[in-house]
Structure 1
Amino acid sequence: MSLLRCFSTLLLGAGLLSQANAQSTKAKEYSWKNLPVAKLPVFKKDTVNIRSFGAVNDGFTLNTASINNAIAACSKKGGGVVLIPQGLWLTGPIVMQNNVNLHVSRPAVLQFTADFNQYPLVEGNYEGVKSARNQSPISGANLVNIAITGSGIIDGNGGVWHLGYRDRYTESQWKKKTAAGGIMRDDGKVWYPTEKSKKGAETKNNGILTEGKTLKDFEDVKDFLRPNMVVFTSCKKILLEGVTFQNSPAWCLHPLMCEDLTLRNVFVKNPETAPNGDGLDLESCKNVLVEGSTFDVGDDGICIKSGRDEEGRKRGMPTENVVIRNNVVYHAHGGVVVGSEMSGGARNIFVYDCSFIGSDIGLRFKTVRGRGGVVEKIYAKNISMRNIVGEAILFDMYYFVKAPVGVNADAVPPVTEATPQFRDFYFSDIVCNGASKGIFVRGIPEMHVKNVNLENMTLQVDKGIEIIEASNIKLKNINIISKLNNPVVYVQNSKDVVFNGVQLPKDAKQLFKISGGNTTGIQILGAKDVDQQKDLSFTDGAIPAAVSKFSK
């Protein structure tokens, strides 16, 4: 089945195409233009200006009450637009209400205060678990029909919250950071804004609301519990459009357990030095469109999550039916990312017509034993990458832990609900000019990465392809232009891996290295420039019979 047909069939199965579109194209394949669109909010035209509620745009007056009162009054009258007009508007936390469109005009800056006392501790969710956090600058729960629109700027003042890690700063940046006061770690490598922040950093598993813990228990480490900037929880029909969201204390945009979310033409901007400075974290959300947006952030750019470990599995809400199109990601730890908190699963994710420029990794899928969850039916097409620091395409089930050297059969754990799964990926038409490695696939012995289909790619990289503990991997028409060619392709303890028409550097010292006694069913087809005797080597228990088919 072609990638296009798979895409269209899955759209129908997910119920994302309208009935009219389905009927009009019943006898033919759907084009990529027939895209799912989440239900959009609709607002009354009534407009409320925050000035009418006493807001002052002098950059000094705290407008928290004025803005929240305007939102509440607008919602009470049936909704409409709450206007942030020209000016620099200082505020504390803002709470959205039903049927309200918070509109930030082009010459407006909504600036959140640096006063930590304005952000009370609340029960929140961070990195997939229930946690004590400072109240988010913008939040809302159990709402319907909400939006943040306009072309102005919303600034979270994240720099006052961020810990400073010496190795992330230039000399001049470091001097400026430390001149703001704060406290230095004894070794001089980490700067903390306050004593509470330092104590929190030194306390293990800080912020997690376990049984018997209350919010008061975290007052002595409050400043460490940085809020995500925009958090919507269990909301429906959400629109974020046109606005620049910048300088978040932690994650920038965090929709949690939301449905019908459209994010369009926004600019998400965090400094590279920002810890946990993710751009967008879609967690346990359903029916989402992310389009025409730009991300330049301190951590993952566009990230799919669904809870962590047992808590995420109990929630049981996958992120599903997501279209990510026409976006650009600059600096980020990953362009489009799934995981690592994916314990509730992720499925029906479509990524196309996107560019990644200078991100650490392009398409990034990460998990680890203990997470559980199934990531499946992920599609990517028409992706352009340049100057990728690490891997262009990465699947890694050893995220943040060290993979063992060799496999001890007695040490392989059994498959349980805590065993994560990656399966059913379809990627095509990808170009990467510059990366340390083209393709990296690493599963775990008890649960291989499965059913990965890669087609029509040109990858100019330092190192070529590495496949470890994987099954049913198909690579077709992949052109590897690599510099470090010993070997270009490495396969270890994997099954049913097919290389069909893969082009490899002719001057390579070693093309294929097959490793591990569990490697079977390797097929190398259309290998016109490959000498089966000279260009294939077998190590660590692998035997020539592991290559079940070879053809010129």
Structure 2
Amino acid sequence: MLFAGAFAQPKHTPNNPAAKAFAGKIMPQVKQVAFKRDTFNIAHFGAKGNGQALNTVSINNAITACNKNGGGVVTIPTGIWLTGPVVLKSNVNLHINRDAVLLFTKDFDQYPLVEGNWEGLPSARNQSPISGKNLENIAITGSGIVDGNGDAWRMVKKDKLTESQWKNLIASGGLLSEDKKTWYPSEKTLKGSQTKQPGVLLNGKTVKDYEDIKDFLRPNMVALTSCKKVLLEGVTFQNSPAWNLHPLLCEDVTVRNVQVKNPWYAQNGDGIDLESCKNALIENSTFDVGDDGICIKSGRDEEGRKRGVPTENVIIRNCIVYHAHGGFVIGSEMSGGVKNMFVSNCTFVGTDIGLRFKTTRGRGGVVEKIYIANINMKDIVGEALLFDMYYEAKDPVPLAGEKREAPKAEIFPVTAGTPVFKDFHISNVICTGAAKAIFVRGLPEMNISDIYLDNMVIKANKGMECTEAIGVHLNNVQLITNNTSPVISINNSSAITFDGLKYPDGIDLLFSINGDKTKNIRVNNTSLTSAKNKAEFANGASEQSLTIN
């Protein structure tokens, strides 16, 4: 007998707030899993839930028996079940009871180096705590906890801990960097941090070449590769060594009602990275992590372009993201492209950036047809909305005392490595606090283009900065800023329109318009009497570039 996991996908109806925003768009359909009711309790295979016995063999034997039986449910019952790597098999639902913890061992010897993937490149990695490859009809369900024991693996920056936490970390063992600002759990981890392209399996390199830095090659906690019909539901996934959830080259992925947690200092501690996947649904889930929250990827640089598999046809709705580098993120590894994203009814609280779209020269790839509606944000540390083609692989918000200079504007030839950002539609956004409301920065040789921002109220210290963009349209947008001039800065951009723009009374300067490439800036249905100065022009920009109707 079969039962459906996750049931049928809810459809957008006229009562759904996202229906209007996405009207006329064909919504992705995600196929669902189904399993036999046969149940295999890991305790019947010799597993002991006392937190001390290592249950790797017992758990994997239960999964194998379930698979050979034609599938069913492998149950993790009450207890703390210490284990090494668990390998999923087709037609198996790994079900973790509410009062159960699947705890992965700190013993690195239990995790052999294997051929894997890291940030879009083929790489040697320690075997993931939970993995599956070329499978179909698989699930991890229940309401228990999967804990990756990530603190045993990760390096930690001093600036991200309190003084007491830092002293306790040093007292636990490990080593410090030469400048005493980063803690490493082992010599192999420290050595790996000093190695160029650590773990990358290119130019004849093999897994064996990286044994001397093994500890540095932290695994993603749940790594599912080339799988079809995947369900993650109800479980708390926490404390991952690197990324938490990583579906790669998968189809028909459903993530529902999960909790994803990492310490805020967890370097590379992403929530979910959906990479080169087709047809996915992420809903009703909560993320509180150390890096990006909900992230879309498709491979990195030339290797990602060779793979050539975009992430496409994805619905993300009714999710909450607390601490994270970004709430909803695309990039920076998006070399295979990203398209047909539908994000709605999400809330970001305390994230470094709200909506974060990042890339850099060398990536290539096209990001397009991105539809986002009904987003609430509170206490955003950096930008509420960020489009940036100069990503530098640094934390989005500088640490105390850290100085960063803006990149030098240079024109490079357009090649296969030139990334493209275009066709973004974002509506109904409320933000009650951010450092900057909107930041758009394209490349001189490849401007960001066709961004539509509708119906927004954003309270931020600073307003909008737009550089090297074509076709940015703001309709009914209110920017509530401090009296920091200007409210809007436009640099070497064209076809920028503002319709129904609102801003604080008495502002010193509304527009700063710069650059000889800047032209065709139009302002409609906007009162300009509240600004002491409407516009200033510099660096080759002329007054003819601005039209006020």
Q: For 1:31-110, list aligned pairs within 5 A.
A: 36-110=28-102
The alignment's TM-score, normalised by the length of structure 1, stands at 0.92
Counterpart contact for 1:481–1:505, Cα < 8 Å: yes
Indicate the residue corresponding to 2:432 in structure 1: 433
2:508–2:532 CA contact under 8 A, matched in 1:
no
Structure-1 residue corresponding to 2:3: none
Query: Which runs of no fewer than 5 residues in structure 2 stay unpaired?
Result: 1-7, 14-19, 394-404
CA distance 1:482–1:248, change in 2 (3 Å) = same
Which of 163, 166, 174 is residue 174 of structure 1 equivalent to? 166
My pick for the range that moved more, 161-170 or 326-335, is: 161-170
1:100–1:146 contact (8 Å) kept in structure 2: yes
Q: 1:357 deviation in Å?
A: 0.2
CA distance in 1, matches of 2:32, 2:25: 18
Q: Name the aligned partner's letter for residue 246 of structure 2.
A: H
Structure 1 residue 38: deviation in Å?
1.1
What residue identity is the alignment partner of 1:332? A
Taking structure 2 as the reference length, the TM-score comes to 0.93
Decide whether the 8 Å contact of 1:17 with 1:35 is kept in 2.
no
3-state SS in 1 of match to 2:508: coil
CA distance change for structure 1 residues 32 and 357 in 2, over 3 Å: closer, same or farther? farther
Alignment partner, residue 550 of structure 1 = 548
Partners of 2:276 and 2:500 in 1: CA distance: 39
Contact (CA 8 Å) 1:233, 1:258: kept in 2 or not? yes
C-alpha change, 1:180 and 1:403, in structure 2 (3 Å) is same
Alignment pair present for 1:154 and 2:154? no
- 1:91-122 Cα offsets, whole Å, 9 max, x none, are 00000001000000000000000000000000
> Within the alignment, does 1:481 sit opposite 2:476 as a pair?
no
Q: Partners in 2 of 1:256 and 1:403 — Cα distance?
A: 34
* Secondary structure in structure 2 of the residue aligned to 1:174: helix
What is the match of residue 457 of structure 1?
Answer: 456
1:16-46 deviations in Å (ceiling 9; x for gaps) = 999999xxxxxx9986999644111100000
Q: How does 1:484-495 map to 2 (within 5 A)?
A: 484-495=483-494
Equivalent residue in structure 2 for 1:232, among 219, 224, 231? 224
- Partner residue of 1:318? 310
Consecutive unaligned residues in structure 1, runs of 5 or more: 1-15, 22-27
| In 1: Cα distance, 2:509 partner to 2:86 partner | 60
- The answer on whether the counterparts of 1:463 and 1:482 sit within 8 Å (CA) in structure 2 is yes
Corresponding position of 1:13: none
Distance 1:17 1:135 in 2: 33
Q: Structure 1's 379 and 19: CA in aligned 2 closer, same or farther, altered over 3 A?
A: closer
Residue in structure 2 matched with residue 114 of structure 1 by the alignment: 106
Query: Once the 2 structures are TM-superposed, how far is the Cα of residue 171 of structure 1 from its aligned partner?
Result: 1.4
1:432 alignment partner AA: C
Q: Is the 1:240–1:262 Cα contact (8 Å) retained in structure 2?
A: yes
Give the ranges of 4+ consecutive aligned residues of structure 1 lying more than 2 Å apart after TM superposition: 16-21, 28-37, 401-405, 529-534
- Alpha carbons of structure 1 residues 29 and 423: separation in structure 2 relative to 1, 3 Å: closer
Q: 2:363 aligns with which of 358, 362, 371?
A: 371
Q: Secondary structure at the match of 1:331?
A: coil
> Is 1:502 matched up with 2:501?
yes
- C-alpha spacing 1:546/1:208, structure 2 compared with 1 (3 Å): same
Q: Secondary structure at the match of 2:255?
A: strand
Q: What does 1:275-286 correspond to in 2, within 5 Å?
A: 275-286=267-278
- Report the Cα distance in structure 2 between the residues aligned to 1:78 and 1:31, rounded to whole angstroms: 42
My pick for the range that moved more, 530-539 or 471-480, is 530-539
Query: Using the alignment, how far apart are the partners of 1:421 and 1:392 within structure 2?
Result: 21
1:110-139 deviation digits (Å, cap 9, x = unpaired): 000000000000000001100000000000
Q: What residue in structure 2 maps to residue 215 of structure 1? A: 207
Supply the distance in 2 between the matched residues of 1:178 and 1:387 (Cα, whole angstroms): 32
Question: Identity over aligned residues, as a percent?
Answer: 59
| Structure 1 position 210, deviation (Å) | 1.2
1:537 aligns with 2:529: no
CA contact (8 A) 1:277 1:300 kept: yes
Counterparts in 2 of 1:327 and 1:17: CA distance versus 1, 3 Å: closer
C-alpha deviation, 1:484, in angstroms = 4.0
Q: How many residue pairs end up in the alignment?
A: 525
Could you tell me which amino acid in structure 1 is paired with residue 82 of structure 2?
Answer: L
CA distance in 1, matches of 2:517, 2:21: 40
